[in-house]
Amino acid sequence: MGRIGFDNELYMKTQKEHILERIKGARGKLYLEFGGKLFDDYHAARVLPGFDVNAKIKLLYELRDMAEIIFVVSAWDIEKTKIRADLGITYDMDVLRLIDDITHLGIEVNSVVITRYSGQPAADAFLAKLTMRGVKNYVHKPIKGYPTDIDYICSENGFGSNPYIETDKPLVVVTGPGPGSGKLATCLSQVYHETVRGVPAGYAKFETFPIWNLPLKHPVNLAYEAATADLADLNMIDPFHLEAYGKTTVNYNRDVEAFPIVRNTLSRISGGAFDYKSPTDMGVNMIGYAIVDDEAVREASCQEIIRRYFAAKCDHRQGKGGEEAVEKIRMIMQQVGITPNDRAVVNPALEKSRRTGMPAAAIQLGDGRVVTGKASELMSASSSVVLNAIKALTNIDDDLTLISPIILEPIVKLKTEILNGRSTLLKLDDVLTALSISAATNTLTARAMEALPQLRDCEMHSTQMLHSGDEGTLRRLGLRLTCEAVYPGKDLFF
C-alpha cells in the first residue's frame, strides 16, 4: 500500500559488496556482529516501503559458502523469561526457532553461547536442552572489570578464560534474539583467541538503524528512536567521525559511548593494528543509498512513529512499560508535526464505537477505503471488521451472511458447554475456522476467503486492547494493528 521508497535489490547488492570488502580487509576471519532481526524485519519494511522483510537472511544465504553463525543469549534474559514482543515467545525459544529456520536454509549454525552465565537454573536447563539436541554450546561468565579494565580483559584471566569457539569459515556472524545478548563481547573474545593462535581476525558490525548518512532528525531515524524508546536509546552525531573526517554522520548513544572501549580493546588485542576511527567506520550499512523516494520513506516513518506511540501507551497501561517511553514518543511526534489522528484508521474506529456504544475496529484497505466493524454478542470487533473487509475486497453486499448459523452454533456450544468457557464471543480464529468450513459448500464464502491475503500490510485500529488470541491471529494475517489503551472488560485475567 502506498509508494515504493526503497530499492531492495540495490541494497542487497551494495551491502554484500561491502561485507566482502570487510572480509578481505580482515585478512583471515571477520567476526560480524549482526544486530536487528534476521527474519521478519517488519520495522524496516514499514519505514522503508519496498524493503524485503527477509533481506538480511537472504543476504546471508548468498554468502552461505563462506559463513557460519554463532547465536548468543544472556543467561539473565533466559532466567527472567524475557519475551520477544513481536512474536510472544521467550528469548531462548527464539534461538531454537532461528536455528531451525536457518538450518533448513542450508546455512551453517556453529553453536550457541550463553553469556553472563553464573549458574542460573533456567540457563542450565536450556544448555541441557541444546546438548540433548546435538547443538554445540558454550558459556561465558562475567569478566571482572568488563568493559573498562582493558589490561585484565585482554589477558588469560579475562577473554582467555572464555572457551574458544572453533570456526572454519572466513565470515562468522554473531547474532542474538535481542539487545543486550552479549554479541559484542563474544566477538571481541573470539578475536582475542584467534590472535593468540596467530590467526588474523577483524570485527565489524552489520547495521540497519539509525541510518548514518541521513539527517539526525529524519523521520526514519526518529522512528528508530521511537522503536527503542523503552531502552532510552538516542540518535546522535558521531563525534569521532566528525573529528576524524570533518563529516557529520548519525549513530546511536550506546555505540558512541562504547567506541573508545572497543577501540582500546581491539588495539590491545591486535598490538595497535586497528583502523577504525569512529563507530560509523565499524558499521557496514548501505541502506541509506537504496532510498529512492525520500518523501515516501518520510511518510511511512511518520506512520510508524504513531504506531509506536499507541503500542507504548498499551504497554504502560498493562504495566509492561514506563510512562517515560510514552512521553518520549509524544515528543518525537511533536518534532515531526504529527498526531495520533494522522493515522487514517483511528477516527473511523472511534466514531463507530461512539455511534454504536460497542467496541469497534477499522481497517484501511490497499485502495485507501476504510472499513469498520463493531462487537456483538456473538463476534468480537476484530472478527466483524475482518469479515467486512473481505466483503469489501470482493464486492460482496454487506447485508449478506458469509457464515451460516448452523456452523456457528456448534462452535459456541463447544466453547461454553464442553470447554466451560464463560463467554459466547467468537474470537477471530474461531470465525476464520468457521469461514473455511463454510467455504467448502458456499461459493460466496470461498470467494471472500481468497481475499484474506490482501489484508497483509493493511492498517488497523481497535478501540480497545485485544486478547492475545485475536492479536496473534491479526499478526499472522499481516495487519498493522494499533489499539487504544483501554481494557476490553473488567476481568483481571487479561
In whole angstroms, give the CA distance from residue 237 to residue 253.
9
In whole angstroms, give the CA distance from residue 313 to residue 250.
28
Cβ atoms of 182 and 74 closer than 8 Å: yes
Q: Could you tell me the residue range of the domain that residue 227 belongs to?
A: 8-290
> How is residue 278 annotated by DSSP?
S
Q: Are residues 285 and 141 in the same domain?
A: yes
Residues 421-432 have a mean pLDDT of: 81
Identity (one letter) of the amino acid at 446?
Answer: A
Residues 2-29 have a mean pLDDT of: 94
Decide if pLDDT at 111 tops 90.
yes
Q: Name every residue whose Cβ is closer than 8 Å to that of residue 455 and which is 6 or more positions away in sequence.
A: 363, 386, 389, 390, 477, 478, 479
Burial class (CB in 10 A: 0-12, 13-18, 19+), 444: middle
Q: What's the pLDDT score for residue 81?
A: 86
* Residue 317: inside a domain: no
Q: Name every residue whose Cβ is closer than 8 Å to that of residue 395 and which is 6 or more positions away in sequence.
A: none
Q: Are residues 278 and 364 in the same domain?
A: no
Identity (one letter) of the amino acid at 364?
Answer: Q
Decide if pLDDT at 409 tops 90.
no
Concatenated DSSP letters of 302-344: HHHHHHHHHHHHHHHHTTSS-HHHHHHHHHHHHHHT--GGGST
Q: What's the pLDDT score for residue 407?
A: 83
Residue 71, classed as helix, strand or coil, is strand
pLDDT in tens, 298-346: 999 999 999 999 999 999 999 988 999 999 999 999 999 999 999 999 9
Q: How confident is the model at residue 273 (pLDDT cuts 50, 70, 90)?
A: low
The values of phi and psi at residue 152, to 5°, are: -75, -40
* Residue 494: inside a domain: no
This prediction has a pTM of: 0.92
Q: 198 in the Ramachandran plot: left (φ > 0), alpha (ψ -120 to 50) or beta?
A: left
Decide if pLDDT at 23 tops 70.
yes
Q: Are residues 262 and 351 in the same domain?
A: no
* Residue 198: inside a domain: yes
Q: Are residues 263 and 378 in the same domain?
A: no
Q: What's the pLDDT score for residue 274?
A: 67
Domain tally, the chain: 2
Give 3-state DSSP helix, strand, coil % of the chain, rounded to 5: 50, 15, 35
* Residue 243: inside a domain: yes
Q: What's the pLDDT score for residue 488?
A: 84
Q: What's the pLDDT score for residue 154?
A: 94
Question: Could you tell me the CATH number of the domain that includes residue 176?
Answer: 3.10.630.10
Residues 36-47 have a mean pLDDT of: 90
Q: Which of residues 269, 290, 311 is at a domain's end?
A: 290
Decide if pLDDT at 362 tops 90.
yes
* Residue 413: inside a domain: yes
More confident site: 416 or 77: 77
Among candidates 140, 263, 252, 189, which has minimal Cα distance to 31?
189
Question: Could you tell me the CATH number of the domain that includes residue 464?
Answer: 3.40.140.40
State the cell numbers at 346: 483511528
Concatenated DSSP letters of 88-133: TEEHHHHHHHHHHHHHHTTPEEEEEEEES-S--HHHHHHHHHHHHT
Residue positions counted in the chain? 494
Q: What's the pLDDT score for residue 492?
A: 54
pLDDT in tens, 52-98: 999 999 999 999 999 999 999 999 999 998 877 666 788 999 999 99
Q: What's the pLDDT score for residue 411?
A: 83
Q: Are residues 275 and 397 in the same domain?
A: no
Among candidates 307, 314, 345, which has minimal Cα distance to 464?
314
| Helix or strand (DSSP H, E) at 382 | helix 381-393
Q: Which of residues 290, 324, 359 is at a domain's end?
A: 290
* Residue 313: inside a domain: no
Q: Are residues 63 and 148 in the same domain?
A: yes
Q: Which of residues 271, 290, 309 is at a domain's end?
A: 290
Q: What's the pLDDT score for residue 388?
A: 96
Q: What's the pLDDT score for residue 1?
A: 56
Decide if pLDDT at 200 tops 70.
yes
Identity (one letter) of the amino acid at 26?
Answer: A
pLDDT in tens, 222-267: 999 999 998 888 999 999 999 999 999 999 998 999 899 899 999 9
Buried b (16+ CB within 10 A) or exposed e, 185-216: bbbbbbbbbbbeeeeebbbbbbbbbbbbbbee
Cβ atoms of 250 and 240 closer than 8 Å: no
In whole angstroms, give the CA distance from residue 61 to residue 136.
21
CB atoms near residue 423 (< 10 Å): 14
* Residue 305: inside a domain: no
Cβ atoms of 43 and 304 closer than 8 Å: yes
pLDDT in tens, 321-330: 899 999 999 9
In whole angstroms, give the CA distance from residue 103 to residue 147.
33
Q: Are residues 141 and 270 in the same domain?
A: yes
Q: Are residues 281 and 375 in the same domain?
A: no
Decide if pLDDT at 171 tops 60.
yes
* Residue 302: inside a domain: no
Beta bridge partner(s), residue 83: 90
Among candidates 449, 446, 389, 378, which has minimal Cα distance to 416?
378
Q: Are residues 266 and 382 in the same domain?
A: no
CA angle 136/87/454 to nearest 5° reads 125
Calculate what percentage of the chain has a pLDDT beyond 70. Answer: 97
Q: Are residues 350 and 238 in the same domain?
A: no
In whole angstroms, give the CA distance from residue 435 to residue 445.
7
Cβ atoms of 98 and 122 closer than 8 Å: no
Q: What's the pLDDT score for residue 217?
A: 97
pLDDT in tens, 138-150: 999 999 999 889 9
Q: What's the pLDDT score for residue 414?
A: 81
Cα→Cα distances 113→126, 138, 163, 397, Å? 11, 5, 10, 57
In whole angstroms, give the CA distance from residue 143 to residue 13.
39
Q: Are residues 37 and 174 in the same domain?
A: yes
Q: What's the pLDDT score for residue 36?
A: 78
Among candidates 459, 409, 462, which has minimal Cα distance to 434?
409
Q: Are residues 98 and 230 in the same domain?
A: yes
Q: What does the mean pLDDT of the chain come to?
A: 92
